Structure 1
């Protein structure tokens, strides 16, 4: 006779009883339990354990490869920075570190901010700065810090700014602190420090606009004094510490930008705002200045500058950047805003939205994007070697431009969807017209029309490339006038589109790895292999991975290890990430651009990710994981000989029952073989019977080796958590037929569930199902078709496609039509073309067939799925007298975002399923609800 797992309340009791105590108890029931699979010192995971489980945050190799930093900490708690050597030797810790920790360029120091404890009474207490020496392990702490900066190429210096203005002498001889002339946003003390000698120099009233030149030879900062008399931008040679004014005068100074050669700086200021009738705007006018770092600043562009369109000015919201060669300065412009003339009626402001059927974008989108549009800027360029000549590049019709070759090219590409704004409400992907813009004149010529994938310039700006989903190929086109598109996939004997694509819009590609140097070849992926195609001879592509990928079901993807490189060096070895699509094993191979078959470096039943290389060394850093192995850090040489584990994030895991993961397959009702993952308790007993939890979204089987650390997920179950508590968890893949998303989910999932339900270790009467959003919709649909599930949780489900179709996504203001016609809902057409499809796929219309207790979580500020969709389903269940619960976290979006709310959600979901699948007593909130009069006074968790 098979052994049934004990009820959950007994399992929880066992957590508090040691094995020795268990054996001394006289109760026969407990003796029987201790002789079974629970006879272990390990305990089941519980919600309190989230607080002790670390997550991996920032990680980095020192430039010389001789040390590693990483930041660990629980989701809700204090983080710790740790530094170790590549052999795993511990060097130092910095408690309460932030995630901005970084090495100096010479690898001698680690710099990070230290924040107050999570439970500190003063939430506004300023941070401290930690300066840690790699050689000595000593950590110096400097209090009251707002920010810090390091040079990119020099490890000799650090600059940091104090948070509290009391650290600065904010009283000048001309300032009266008792008058309104004293500004509240005066700067604070900026400190320039030599990391070698420890010598410091201070500069008062500095704002957070400060920066090093890349070589560390200069520090540039803006100053805001209490009475504005000392305002300006100043340059400091770091070797002497002397202060040189670049521009002074009352006003704000922002957007400090230094070029790559450490020779010049640019910034914006409102110092020159003209108080005259010529400028009728509520915002001050801004001026663009540029200075050689040893010279005074020169005015480059201001209001009504030559080269700008009529009534346009310099935008304070535009970014500044120099071209790589330093001969061009890019900045933002915008139409000058008209003065605010708020309409009134009988002296009262009139706030009204006018929805017009001919608007390019729905009023809801316009309102959502209003602030962004008010701050929109359009790129212009200053030709510094041509008498500071200004050319406007972007326009209102072509708002986004990208200049080739890091700003050095004479051409820019502009992709604009402006002519297709209305179609974006129902069509997907959005269409674009493609233009080439002359950087020297601003003249634009259209080269492509109505493409559904934005075009990009090659690194040397010789070609445009884009994906064509309808033709299912990549195209290239020379930038020369009169050129014609070139089919880059014409001689590649493998599909370049996603072969698993099952949505009604044209398929996306497997992707590209960019270009070889000098625009020699464009790098394209098929499902398994990588290809190099020279646009001048597309009939002769090179299979960079020698066809090994397709031959062995191995997906190869190129790893670019040089963070500074824009292209791939054809003479260097290829580092390839490898993923076996059948076994789900992964690792790394070495290949070559000549197309020789790559050779294996490391391959395991693990997931490998995050591969990086030290800037000045061949040392590698990466993470690996599987269901039971946390994604800790490892270091290795490029041949992966004798890799070393650096971190052990959660040693306490050995004290807990965990899960295993295995692949399974079955035949769907439409005849296709599908894969899924089964998670079992790591003390699985084939002679026991277990409840089964089913979770799904679309395809998840490739995630076989993903690690699920205990954490309060915002919406879905954690397979490890449930397996630890005595469940088996099943995660099946789904494939879809256009027009029938609900039926497709049923046809894919149910054969796998029923096959597993027939296994001797599954209790067929204790099967639950859970999913959120798209998963929630599919659950709501499926329980109208089957009574197999003893309990279901459907988070934020679309219950009525007919009412959802015409609504908007509150988060973006976009119409929901495109989602139903073209994307995830896969209906394939409009409500008027296929009314039956919308009705048949809506679970609301079949709610009378549901016999499964249904819990939903749907929040009243959901920006993705209208809250009313959950309400419609709940009210239908209530009207039909069927068990249903709706959990609404007030003011929360598509899922709860705050830690304590996520914990609450996971606790309620666990209590719901434990009641129906583990025979646990129902808590008060589940049994009888919580009256509005008790809201906030009780959580209803406790079971008497």
Structure 2
């Protein structure tokens, strides 16, 4: 029987290309079909549609923008629209399609065809009748959020025209404007589909006109130089990415962008010299980059009925957040307390009543935190975090209420080791701003706005399980201008909760009012990419482990029945593979830390192996992550490749203590290695160390303090903390923000703590390095200037230490060119093979060593 068993093979590089990355995308309305994408290293990506229960599947090579619509699936391949009938299992292809939308409510597919032989046109295809309504010369269109109406603009020889049609009766077209020499652009629907606004855009921006069409009363309103000459004497309607047009729920307010008129202003000849002052709010390059990104547009509001127009933002208060009901805006100035030396400085926050235009300050010198400054959906409150508590400000009564002080629970903490403590989250409110929903370290809370009533919805703290509400669209956070648009969450309905256990388990729980959370699926693997429909009868997701390639599952909510409907990379079963193990160890301070130990493929307990330690602060979360074997790695390291090539790989967590970033890393990493050595698995004299970016800094520092590692790699690494502190980084921002509280967390500046900076800077201890170091960087790295690597190389060279440096022209912090990705991955492996396996075949190392 042993002779008949299929023997596993050693995986060779020639076969790496067979592996693909699986990304779950959508679930059909009837919850019977799912779409997912498999991305391959050579770019041969394929979109798949699969029946969850019957395993029937269809492949769309290079398919994009896939969507389910009732009983069909639609996607684009280049300029072809592919329509798959999921009942008949028949496919229809429409060529020369520029874009498409669809209306579930009216069972219609809308697509724009653009051919070289004729002007583009729009077709409305009815799934019920099979009839097609053709609208010629359409250059732009926009479906309403309710999917019942369509705005479009037509381009003809006599000019541009724009109209709205009801999809219930596409034959009737309601023309709003006709035969204009100028284009109509920037269309926006009111969220209930009751109105649409757009701009007539002139070559002279001072003549631009904003139109508002109220479908309820069939009236067209116009805002431009002719209708409000006083306002347009100073301002012009403009198109802005940052300040898009918005329409209030009550149809009384249209928000849009304006620019100050510059006509008649005589521009002086500018001398090409940069004038920098130590008293500048922002340093010159950052000021310039922000002007390019944000522009000079201001936010304004127009009441079409009264005809009144007001500018909301100003040079003094240019940043704007707004509540979901558009009743109040919240204004601030990022520069208010500059110059300062954090990533974002504190600000004064003002509230502006958008009916009375009364403005008042309500927060003074308050820290900026994008997750802890949240206008409520119904417009009644503004939530903010201060003095370790959540507060609610009521703009109508101008009152502040501390809502969490009596709960005895922390609502902020370390979510990432490299950043300071931050709030755990505010995912939304219940309907009408009745209750705010908050996260603590483990659980979900609802709290009344007066703070007198609070309830914990889950019991995660007792089990050390973190619960978070699953939102399938969380990858696309909704925003209004510079602030978030929070969700309204109905707690009378079932919720799906993402669960993460202290022991590495993950999964999904079902939460119901008056019942609480119940386990639906909780496993010693990684689960993510959850998708479900409004019915919530089932949920689909991706699951993986280090030695289990991602698979896709569906779970029936009523029966908890599980269906695995796709397993990726089935060829893995033919080959030897490693496995992962959760490791616990203690540093010298007595802190219990976690790490991941990856075993070599085809592990033999009778042998001892070399080991590579890969570091970057927290790494234990990678316990269940499956990594495809590939040479195409942006940071030059692939843990699976190393296990396939006979290495143990250690991924330890690192915590920073006592404002000593390098010394803390040394303590944690050496303790983790000692723990593995005590297990009698590895060759203690054949251990390598590698890190990129901040991990590169840690790697560079550690090897200045210990000869434990036979060879190391430090890439994209800060080497001199003092020179990096006084440097300019990405977007022209001074790098000092990284050092005092965040990332390096030195507690102050080099002037405050010169000894501390010296003690933790690799460049100060290069003379102590005893083992070879490989350095690499992109020469166009905006994150960590490649000259940091150059300093390290020159110091090693001057001291005649063994080192090689590789610089990639035109590459940034991560390598994007596939050839360069493969080159550094191969060189990294050769570097460790040379020093940890005594493989002296790579000539680029042998020659430099000799």
TM superposition score normalised by structure 1: 0.82
Q: CA deviation at 1:584?
A: 0.9
Structure 2 partner of 1:400: 319
Structure 2 partner of 1:693: 612
Q: CA deviation at 1:743?
A: 0.3
Aligned CA distance change for structure 1 residues 358 and 142 (closer, same or farther; 3 Å): same
Q: CA deviation at 1:560?
A: 4.7
Matches within 5 A, 1:428-443: 428-443=343-358
Q: Does 1:666 align with 2:585?
A: yes
CA contact (8 A) 2:63 2:77 kept: yes
**CA RMSD between the two structures:** 2.9
The alignment partner of 1:903 has SS state of helix
Structure 2 partner of 1:110: 73
Q: Distance in 2 between matches of 1:215 and 1:747?
A: 58
Question: Which deviations, in whole Å up to 9, do the C-alpha atoms of 1:305-361 show, x marking residues without a partner?
Answer: 4785862221222412222344432211222346797765xxxx8433222333221
Q: Distance in 2 between matches of 1:686 and 1:504?
A: 40
2:541 is aligned, of 616, 622, 629, to 622
Aligned CA distance change for structure 1 residues 482 and 114 (closer, same or farther; 3 Å): closer
Q: CA deviation at 1:428?
A: 4.6
Q: CA deviation at 1:65?
A: 2.0
CA contact (8 A) 2:636 2:828 kept: no
1:918 is aligned, of 837, 846, 850, to 837
Structure 2 partner of 1:222: 153
CA contact (8 A) 1:303 1:313 kept: no
With 140-149 and 195-204 compared, the bigger mean Cα shift is at 195-204
Q: Distance in 1 between matches of 2:847 and 2:129?
A: 69
Question: Which deviations, in whole Å up to 9, do the C-alpha atoms of 1:812-835 show, x marking residues without a partner?
Answer: 110011111221011111121111
With 661-670 and 304-313 compared, the bigger mean Cα shift is at 304-313
CA contact (8 A) 1:60 1:70 kept: yes
Question: Which deviations, in whole Å up to 9, do the C-alpha atoms of 1:423-473 show, x marking residues without a partner?
Answer: 1xx1255312222111113332111111113522222222221122xx222
With 826-835 and 354-363 compared, the bigger mean Cα shift is at 354-363
Q: Distance in 1 between matches of 2:49 and 2:260?
A: 50
The alignment partner of 1:418 has SS state of coil
Aligned CA distance change for structure 1 residues 608 and 434 (closer, same or farther; 3 Å): same
Matches within 5 A, 1:130-529: 130-151=82-103, 153-162=105-114, 164=115, 166-169=116-119, 188-207=120-139, 209-225=140-156, 229-238=158-167, 239-241=169-171, 244-247=174-177, 248-271=179-202, 285-292=207-214, 297-302=220-225, 305=228, 308=231, 311-317=234-240, 318-337=243-262, 350-374=271-295, 376-384=296-304, 386-407=305-326, 410-423=327-340, 426-452=341-367, 453=369, 455-468=373-386, 471-483=387-399, 485-498=400-413, 507-529=421-443
Unaligned runs of 5+ in 1: 1-18, 21-38, 116-126, 170-187, 275-282, 931-944
CA contact (8 A) 1:148 1:160 kept: yes
Q: Does 1:43 align with 2:10?
A: yes
Q: CA deviation at 1:195?
A: 3.8
The alignment partner of 2:579 has SS state of strand
2:40 is aligned, of 59, 67, 74, to 74
Q: Distance in 1 between matches of 2:558 and 2:522?
A: 12
Q: CA deviation at 1:49?
A: 4.4
Matches within 5 A, 1:92-131: 92-98=58-64, 100-104=65-69, 107-115=70-78, 127-131=79-83
The alignment partner of 1:430 has SS state of coil
> Higher relative contact order by CA 8 Å / sep ≥ 6: 1 or 2?
1
The alignment partner of 2:628 has SS state of coil
Q: Distance in 2 between matches of 1:339 and 1:359?
A: 29
Aligned CA distance change for structure 1 residues 925 and 224 (closer, same or farther; 3 Å): farther
**How many residue pairs were aligned?**
828
Q: Distance in 2 between matches of 1:557 and 1:45?
A: 41
Q: Distance in 1 between matches of 2:812 and 2:544?
A: 31
Aligned CA distance change for structure 1 residues 489 and 442 (closer, same or farther; 3 Å): same
Unaligned runs of 5+ in 2: 479-485
With 293-302 and 675-684 compared, the bigger mean Cα shift is at 293-302
Q: CA deviation at 1:76?
A: 3.1
Q: Distance in 1 between matches of 2:494 and 2:131?
A: 45
Structure 1 partner of 2:669: 749
Structure 2 partner of 1:535: 449
Q: Distance in 2 between matches of 1:432 and 1:50?
A: 52
The alignment partner of 1:63 has SS state of coil
Matches within 5 A, 1:15-26: none
Q: CA deviation at 1:875?
A: 0.9
Aligned CA distance change for structure 1 residues 757 and 324 (closer, same or farther; 3 Å): same
Question: Which deviations, in whole Å up to 9, do the C-alpha atoms of 1:536-577 show, x marking residues without a partner?
Answer: 234x422211xx322222222233579999222232344322
Q: Distance in 2 between matches of 1:326 and 1:63?
A: 32
Aligned CA distance change for structure 1 residues 411 and 215 (closer, same or farther; 3 Å): closer
The alignment partner of 1:778 has SS state of helix
Q: Distance in 2 between matches of 1:795 and 1:511?
A: 34
